[in-house]
Structure formats: C-alpha cells, structure tokens
Amino acid sequence: MIIVTGGAGFIGSAVVWYLNRQGIDDVIIVDNLGTSAKWRNLVNRRYVDYVHKDVFLERVRNNTIDYTVDAVIHMGACSSTTERNADYLVENNYRYSMILARWALDRGIRFIYASSAATYGDGSQGFSDDDEVTERLEPINMYGYSKQMFDLWVLRNKLQEACAGLKFFNVYGPNEYHKGDMKSVVHKAVHEIEETGEMRLFRSYRREYGDGEQRRDFVYVKDCVSIIGELLENGSRNGIFNVGTGRARTWNDLVTAVCRAMKREPNMRYIEMPEQIREQYQYYTEAVMDKLQSMGSAGIRYSLEDGIEDYVGSYLMGGERCLER
C-alpha cells in the first residue's frame, strides 16, 4: 500500500495520477477536503480509501494502521507563502512531518516528502541542494521556514540517507485550480488574457532586472511526479534534492509562451508591486540539478514552452479539466 498525504491537492493528486498510470491502485489518500473544490481531483483517480489527515495522524500515533505500508509520499502541507499563523505552519508542516517520518522510517517504509525552494530565501546563498548549504539557508517567509525546519531535522538526525526530500521550485500544471491566490501564473494568465486581452506583471524595483525580466525556475507538474516515481522505484536514491528545470526563465517568457499556446499575440502590462511583498520578493531562482542527475535521474522532459503548450492546450482552453484517467 502507498500512502499519499495531500493526495487531493495539486502535486499529491498528480502523484496518484502517475501511480494509476503505472497500474498502482493500492493507494490511501490522506487530506483535508473541507469545503474546497479539490475533491474534483479525486474523481478520475483509483484508490482504496480516503482518510482525513487528523484521523490518519492519530492512527500513526496510536500505531493502529492495520495494513502493510510500502511507501509514504508526503505532499500534505500548508503551501501559502503569505500564511501568518506561525504556530499553524509549525504544527502542520514541521511537527506532522516529523511524526510521520519517524513512524515510517522506524518501520523501514519508503519515505518521500515535499520541501520547497522557498527555503532558499532571497537566494543570496545560491540554489545548491548540498547539505552544507541547506544548513545555512535563511528563508524570508514563515512557509519557507517551516519547510526549512523539517529539512534541518532530517539532517540533524542523519536521516538524509534514509529518505528523499524534494525542494520544488515554481510548479505549474493541471489540478491546481483550487489553490486561490497560490495558483501558478500560467493558470492566472490564461484566464486574465481571456477576460482582458492582456496579462499584468509586476514592475521591477532593481536596476539589474527590467520589468517582467525577473527570473524563476518554472517546472511542469508531470516532470515532478515522474521524478517522484523514479525515487519510489529506487529506494537507494536518498537525500534532499532540488526539483526544477535548472534553467531560470523570465515572466515575459512565460506570458509569451501562454499567448502562443492560446494563439494570441503577447500583451503584457506592468503594474506596481504591493509594498508589503517587495522586501520578500524573489527576483531570481534556478535549481542546481547536479545532485539528482548524478544519481541517474532522467530529469526534466518538458521545456517551459512544451509544458505550457500541454497545460494550456490540453487542460485550460475550452474549459478546465483535471488530469485524465
């Protein structure tokens, strides 16, 4: 049995999609559906059971899970970079992860978890996933810090050789529709361009970057879950790894690719960035992918243009669709 926490969410439901395509249906989905629309991500999926995340944690604590678990793919977390409740983030992203990891690893269960590129903060320490760099990182928002806390716990307890952590960079793709303000700019751009004929982007406040020339490492969710699949099949590939394309691209590049996928001419308008986020804004991110590639990973298959073409053409245009059966 494979447990996928956050299994109704964006990356988690894409993991279940990947598993189903490999013929794997023995899946337990752990999540908190609440009143959100992410239940739609489960409609096309095949799985054994759904368990609320609090109920599941209680079963873990009480050791009352009565089925054989082969792997835990822990994607469940609060992923809002603007969440201000630090206690909630610590409990949800750090302590929950710590309890689950200890339970799994003590039983020899494969444990793969989601970290985040938000741990790199302003990027002044670079974007290497070397463990010595990880220990020096200073995140600039509480979400990033909650992820950093768990990475540091893994390193302090010398568990990096027993599990796999994934520092996801800017992920976009199907099944993210429910994420509100945290949806990718690709998703937002399609709807904004359809409604207004243009896409608004933040102005730059640094001389070295033109408007819309701020750079990020954008990675397609289908590549992310393929990498998770590799790690699931190869239990000896352990450590804390970056997951990105290894190539920073501009917001202008992204919007141009969206417009081309929509068969429109690019049309960008630059607006003022809210003052409350200017000090926390990342102008550049680029994953160093050497560590994962050195372990034999097939790496990234989708370029920015190819990923956007697939996402926009197959899922967003003409009515949004979730990942297919």
pLDDT tens column, 161-191: 999 999 999 999 999 999 998 999 999 999 9
> What's the number of domains the chain is made of?
1
* Residue 100: partners with Cβ closer than 8 Å, 6 or more residues away: 5, 57, 60, 72, 74, 111
Residue 66, pLDDT score: 92
Helix (H) / strand (E) element for 131: namely helix 131-134
pTM: 0.96
Is 272 part of a structural domain of the chain? no
How far is it, in rounded angstroms, from Cα 103 to Cα 152? 18
State both tokens at 100. Answer: 């689950």
Alpha-carbon distances of 56 from 20, 77, 104, rounded to whole Å: 22, 14, 13
pLDDT tens column, 62-90: 999 999 999 999 999 988 877 888 999 99
Is 269 part of a structural domain of the chain? no
The catalytic position among 179, 183, 188, 291 is 179
Is 75 part of a structural domain of the chain? yes
Is 213 part of a structural domain of the chain? no
Residue 319, pLDDT score: 80
Is 199 part of a structural domain of the chain? no
3-class secondary structure, 222: helix
CATH number at residue 82: 3.40.50.720
Residue 79, pLDDT score: 81
Would you call 158 a catalytic residue per the annotation?
A: no
How far is it, in rounded angstroms, from Cα 284 to Cα 291? 20
Is 258 part of a structural domain of the chain? no
How far is it, in rounded angstroms, from Cα 127 to Cα 240? 12
Is 274 part of a structural domain of the chain? no
- Extended beta strands in 25-129, E state: 27-31, 49-52, 71-74, 110-116
Domain span at residue 28? 2-172+218-246+287-301
Mean pLDDT of 105-112: 98
Residue 281, pLDDT score: 86
Most confident stretch, 44-58, 84-98, 271-285: 44-58
Nearest to 222 by CA among 14, 10, 73, 75: 14
Would you call 147 a catalytic residue per the annotation?
A: no
The catalytic position among 18, 120, 143, 177 is 143
Residue 249, pLDDT score: 98
Mean pLDDT of 255-283: 93
Is 229 part of a structural domain of the chain? yes
| Whole-number average pLDDT of the chain | 95
